[in-house]
Chain A
């Protein structure tokens, strides 16, 4: 079993998040330990983290998957709960997590996400790499490994790892403050994705990315019911559709800087 007999670790990786880190960490007291990875932080994130935990790891990771794996590696609990700085855990979710890990027969569970744009809860239409409606955030140590991509790393699960039912309570995610934030996120995702494409040597074709623009829009706006969210649902679908195309064009037209 684990070294000091801890049952549950919460792990978070942080890059200059002093504005929201305290609020996020406050919600994690239900875990037996909190592990904070400070990735190239130049603000007060470290000081804030140390008021909540002594398990703070400083470093610089170029690739998101590597960073997340380092965080998981540092956890001593049998179970790991992975969270981002812009997410909040309610008391009910904390209790549900504790209850679940003491009784579950499975190795990992998905947590549903309530995404907010500013003050507005936007429930429908997320997906296609531009936002998540659920994520596999609760898992036994050793079953989940992140891939080496800069953005949206793929996951590898240990052989025979069994997926359990989703949790009932949702995590709250402040994904964007407004439409400008959505545009900036589209820009930074597609820049990072372009680097991955260049490195893979296969940047795809314009034609297939034009097709994906439409297929992803339809997936988010209609199948995932983005239309129920009005204008924000439209923009989520639009940006999910543009993401592969912009990544492809940045990879084609622009060199690594």
Chain B
């Protein structure tokens, strides 16, 4: 097993998150250690993190996948629980995680996500790379490796998939519609760089088709319509993501 006989490491990646880092680390005390990756932090994130753990990894990573892999590497536990900047762990989930790794039926587990826009829980319609309903956040060390893409890195998973956990993690994804649009802008800028790197930015007509197919997928198949206006905006952003990425790659060469 692992070096210090630790059973569970919690892994957090932070980039200037002093405002919400304390709340996030507070709810991770159920793990045997907390590893915090501080990526290009220029604020007080480090001071905040030091109140909770001495397992800090400081550095500068250009790509999300590499940063996450460095964090996973640093974890000493036999199991790793990975959470994001804007997520909170309810007590029930903490209990469930400890119970699952006591008698695991797999090597990697999906954790359901409750996404909030502002104060409002928005359950339906996520997807199309604009939001997630679940993610493989609990895994045995060594079974999960992140790919090198700038945005939405691919996962290389080698273990056996266990049954999904039941308690959702709370994800404060956007404060409002402006936040959604700014996130759409950031994602598509990064995606454009990935497309340019790959040498295949796709064709414009294909991306226009994707506007309609992705909108349909999120708004109808994933029942975004049940969320009213927010479901509409989510579907819209998911729909525009490919065409905006393509046009940024086509029209605006990286500096």
Q: Does B191 contact A (CB under 8 A)?
A: no
- Most B C-beta atoms less than 10 A away, residue of A179, A234, A242, A254: A179
Q: Enumerate chain B residues within 8 angstroms of A179, measured Cβ to Cβ.
A: 188, 244, 247-248, 251-252
Known interface pairs A178-B252, A179-B251, A249-B229; A242-B184 also in contact (CB < 8 Å)? no
SS of B interface (majority): helix
Q: Enumerate chain A residues within 8 angstroms of B78, measured Cβ to Cβ.
A: none
Q: Can you name 29 A-B pairs with beta carbons within 8 Å?
A: A118-B252, A179-B188, A179-B248, A180-B185, A183-B182, A183-B184, A184-B182, A184-B185, A186-B181, A187-B181, A190-B177, A206-B232, A231-B204, A231-B247, A231-B251, A234-B243, A234-B247, A238-B240, A246-B181, A249-B177, A249-B229, A249-B232, A250-B176, A250-B177, A253-B177, A253-B228, A253-B230, A254-B118, A254-B177
Bound-state Cα–Cα, A250 to B176, Å: 8
Q: Does B189 contact A (CB under 8 A)?
A: yes
Q: Enumerate chain B residues within 8 angstroms of A169, measured Cβ to Cβ.
A: none
**Chain A: CB-nearest residue to B230:** A253
Chain A 109-129: CB-based contact to B (< 8 A → 1; otherwise 0) = 000000000100000000000
Bound-state Cα–Cα, A234 to B251, Å: 12
* Shortest distance between the CB of A203 and any CB in chain B (Å): 11
* Shortest distance between the CB of A56 and any CB in chain B (Å): 32
Segment 222-257 of A: residues with Cβ below 8 Å from B:
230-232, 234-235, 238, 242, 246, 249-250, 252-254
Q: Does B178 contact A (CB under 8 A)?
A: yes
Q: Enumerate chain B residues within 8 angstroms of A206, measured Cβ to Cβ.
A: 229, 232
If A234-B247, A253-B229 are given as contacts, then 12 extra A-B residue pairs at C-beta distance below 8 Å, sorted by A number, are A118-B252, A178-B252, A179-B188, A179-B252, A180-B185, A184-B182, A186-B181, A187-B182, A234-B243, A246-B181, A250-B178, A254-B177
Q: Does B41 contact A (CB under 8 A)?
A: no
Q: Does B233 contact A (CB under 8 A)?
A: yes
**Chain A: CB-nearest residue to B252:** A178
Across the interface, A183 reaches (CB within 8 A) one of B118, B185, B233, B251, namely: B185
Q: Enumerate chain A residues within 8 angstroms of B230, measured Cβ to Cβ.
A: 253
* Shortest distance between the CB of A237 and any CB in chain B (Å): 12
Segment 158-204 of A: residues with Cβ below 8 Å from B:
178-180, 183-184, 186-187, 190-191
Q: Enumerate chain A residues within 8 angstroms of B228, measured Cβ to Cβ.
A: 253
Which residues on B are within 8 Å of A, measured CB to CB? Answer: 118, 176-178, 181-182, 184-185, 188-189, 204, 228-230, 232-233, 236, 240, 243-244, 247-248, 250-252
Q: Enumerate chain A residues within 8 angstroms of B247, measured Cβ to Cβ.
A: 179, 231, 234-235
- Most A C-beta atoms less than 10 A away, residue of B188, B189, B229: B229
Q: Enumerate chain A residues within 8 angstroms of B233, measured Cβ to Cβ.
A: 246, 249
**Chain A: CB-nearest residue to B233:** A249
Bound-state Cα–Cα, A118 to B247, Å: 14
* Shortest distance between the CB of A184 and any CB in chain B (Å): 7
Would A183 and B229 count as touching, CB distance under 8 A? no
**Chain A: CB-nearest residue to B178:** A187
Q: Enumerate chain A residues within 8 angstroms of B177, measured Cβ to Cβ.
A: 190, 246, 249-250, 253-254
Q: Enumerate chain B residues within 8 angstroms of A235, measured Cβ to Cβ.
A: 244, 247
**Chain B: CB-nearest residue to A191:** B178
Q: Enumerate chain A residues within 8 angstroms of B185, measured Cβ to Cβ.
A: 180, 183-184
**Top 6 A-B residue pairs of the complex, sorted by shortest distance between their CB atoms:** A231-B247, A249-B229, A183-B185, A187-B181, A253-B229, A231-B251
**Chain B: CB-nearest residue to A188:** B178
* Shortest distance between the CB of A23 and any CB in chain B (Å): 22
Q: Enumerate chain A residues within 8 angstroms of B184, measured Cβ to Cβ.
A: 183
Bound-state Cα–Cα, A186 to B176, Å: 15
Bound-state Cα–Cα, A206 to B251, Å: 33
